[in-house]
Amino acid sequence: MTPKEVLALCREKDVKAIDMRFMDFPGLWQHFTIPVSELDEDVFEDGLGFDGSSIRGWQAINESDMLVVPQPETASLDPFTELPTLSMICNIQDPITREDYSRDPRNVARKAINYLKSTGIGDSCYVGPEAEFFVFDDIRFDQVPNAGYYHIDSIEGQWNRGRQENPNLGYKLRHKEGYFPVPPADQMMDLRNEMMQTMIECGLRVECQHHEVGTAGQAEIDLRFGPLVEMADQMMMYKYIIKNVARRHGKTVTFMPKPLFGDNGSGMHTHISIWKGSEPLFAGNGYAGLSEMALYAAGGLLKHAAALCAFTNPTTNSYKRLVPGFEAPVNLAYSQRNRSAAVRIPMYSPSPKSKRLEFRCPDPSCNPYLAFSALLMAVIDGIQNKIDPGEPLDKDIYDLTPEELQDVPHTPGSLDEALGALRADHEFLLRGDVFTPDVIDTWIWYKTENEVDALRLRPHPYEFCMYYDI
């Protein structure tokens, strides 16, 4: 869509407001709105000013002026606003130099694709994320100097089997038994269908929706794979739609990786492949139908996995999911079909077009622009340096003996450890000026000060259970 076409759409749909959206550094959409009368073709070229010092991880107050530049191809009618509103995703620029801002996550993703093209390896990177989430009926939490707690509730929750509901109809999903039961056990069917249909009406291509393993409304809606930047854009629309459809029904959604104790967390298994023109480059005659290039790509993912986790699993809560001995893929190995490997080669279809790597570590708390870009940079590094991924591990990793496991590396055990790995291993991200040093440094600083240290300084409620009487 061109600027002229956006303006024509506004007239056709009687749009009254234009919502400008962009991604902050940690990974939340930000926005402001202008009346449609203020949108003309010049805005697509000149942009609109805003205060960059008020955005997390961005400018200092003495360098706060920045520009949002709307991208017409991202235009979409907002399905939730009362006033007819058209939203557009924006790039961020410096108003003086007109250079794209280094800490704009969308800019990092665009540079990653340009770097891929410059290497001659391929010209397209396709990404297919499988984001999981929880739908709750009530959530309360707080942390003050003399108290700290959270309380979650869900009509599906196993813990509500004995609650007075006048009547309580049963059908509460047992822990770890939420995968694919039909209604009435699955009480979220209509809600997920509405989410799916809203996505389709907003231009997203949905492959399926289903209940996930966890009790209490865990769900997954899968989008068809797409080009890296476009897919990151779609993931932000995906989250926006899911949260707002749930809110419309008096429910709340979280993409927090591990909100419930004793049940599955929410991951975001991410499929990735490289193409040149119409040719898929990961299909071949090697292990699991992979090309030599794809095996080297797997080697890059495994070599840099610990550093990648700083972007793909970027919260302290992420490491409540990535725990050895449970279902999450903490062991860094590759395998066909085996879901206990960090890198899996799906075997659903013999078509070369379906050949890809599935990196199973990520979770949906990530900033998709940064996470997908980091994965691509690791893939490129593996291909350029012919990194051998070693032998595949086709056994059930969780059945291996301690002796067999000792030679299998694993993911970091905490966000602090992942940030340390990123500090030690980020040269591959700097190539092509994709991740600049200020992006790496600011990410480590922001996450350490605002998340790692913030949690480290506060007593945990369970510590009172363990230690109060000592």
Give the C-alpha separation, 295 to 57, whole Å.
36
Average pLDDT estimate for 435-464: 96
SS (H, E, C) 34-100: EEHHHCCHHHHHHCEEEEHHHCCCCCCHHHCEEEEEECHHHCEECCCCCCCEEEEEEEEECCCCCCE
| 212 is an active site residue | yes
DSSP structure class, residue 127: E
pLDDT tens digits, 177-203: 999 999 999 999 999 999 999 999 999
Pick the catalytic residue: 78, 104, 132, 233? Answer: 132
CA distance to 134, 250, 253, 259, 325, per residue, from 178 (Å): 12, 22, 17, 16, 20
| 230 is an active site residue | no
Pick the catalytic residue: 21, 269, 271, 356? Answer: 269
Pick the catalytic residue: 5, 40, 51, 463? Answer: 51
Tell me the average pLDDT of the chain. Answer: 94
pLDDT tens digits, 308-362: 999 999 999 999 999 876 667 888 999 987 677 899 998 887 888 999 999 999 9
Under DSSP, is residue 230 helix (H, G, I), strand (E, B) or coil?
helix
Under DSSP, is residue 204 helix (H, G, I), strand (E, B) or coil?
coil
Give the C-alpha separation, 359 to 375, whole Å.
9
Average pLDDT estimate for 457-464: 94
| Beta bridge pairs of residue 209 | 221
Pick the catalytic residue: 21, 106, 356, 360? Answer: 360
| 132 is an active site residue | yes
Q: Can you say how many angstroms the Cα of residue 239 is from the centroid of all Cα atoms in its chain?
A: 9
Cβ proximity of 343 and 400 under 8 Å: no
The answer on pLDDT for 52 being more than 90 is no
Pick the catalytic residue: 220, 222, 381, 451? Answer: 220
- Of 220, 211, 208, residue with least CA distance to 177: 211
Say what angle helices 368-384 and 105-119 make with each other, to 10 degrees. Answer: 20
Cβ proximity of 135 and 188 under 8 Å: yes
| 360 is an active site residue | yes
Cβ proximity of 212 and 218 under 8 Å: yes
CA distance to 148, 149, 261, per residue, from 143 (Å): 4, 7, 19
How much is the pLDDT for 46?
Answer: 96
| 138 is an active site residue | no
Under DSSP, is residue 420 helix (H, G, I), strand (E, B) or coil?
helix
Q: Which residue in the block uniquely carries the two structure tokens 């062991």?
A: 331
How much is the pLDDT for 340?
Answer: 76
Confidence of residue 405 (pLDDT cuts 50, 70, 90): confident
pLDDT tens digits, 125-148: 999 999 999 999 999 999 999 999
Task: Tell me whether the omega of the peptide bond preceding residue 184 falls within 30 degrees of 0, making it cis.
Answer: yes
Pick the catalytic residue: 78, 137, 186, 212? Answer: 212
Pick the catalytic residue: 130, 156, 186, 233? Answer: 130
This model's pTM is above 0.75: yes
| Beta bridge pairs of residue 132 | 220
- Of 34, 18, 9, residue with least CA distance to 78: 18
Residue 419 has, within 13 A of its CA and on its CB side, a CA count of 22
The alpha carbon dihedral of 460, 464, 468, 469 has a sign of: negative
Structure tokens at 375: 């994965």
Give the C-alpha separation, 215 to 175, whole Å.
5
CA angle 340, 342, 345 (to 5 degrees): 85
CA distance to 17, 281, 353, per residue, from 278 (Å): 39, 9, 9
Pick the catalytic residue: 78, 104, 263, 358? Answer: 358
| 205 is an active site residue | no
DSSP 391-403: S---S-GGGS-HH
Cβ proximity of 274 and 125 under 8 Å: yes
Pick the catalytic residue: 31, 210, 339, 431? Answer: 339
Cβ proximity of 290 and 355 under 8 Å: yes
Confidence of residue 227 (pLDDT cuts 50, 70, 90): very high
| 339 is an active site residue | yes
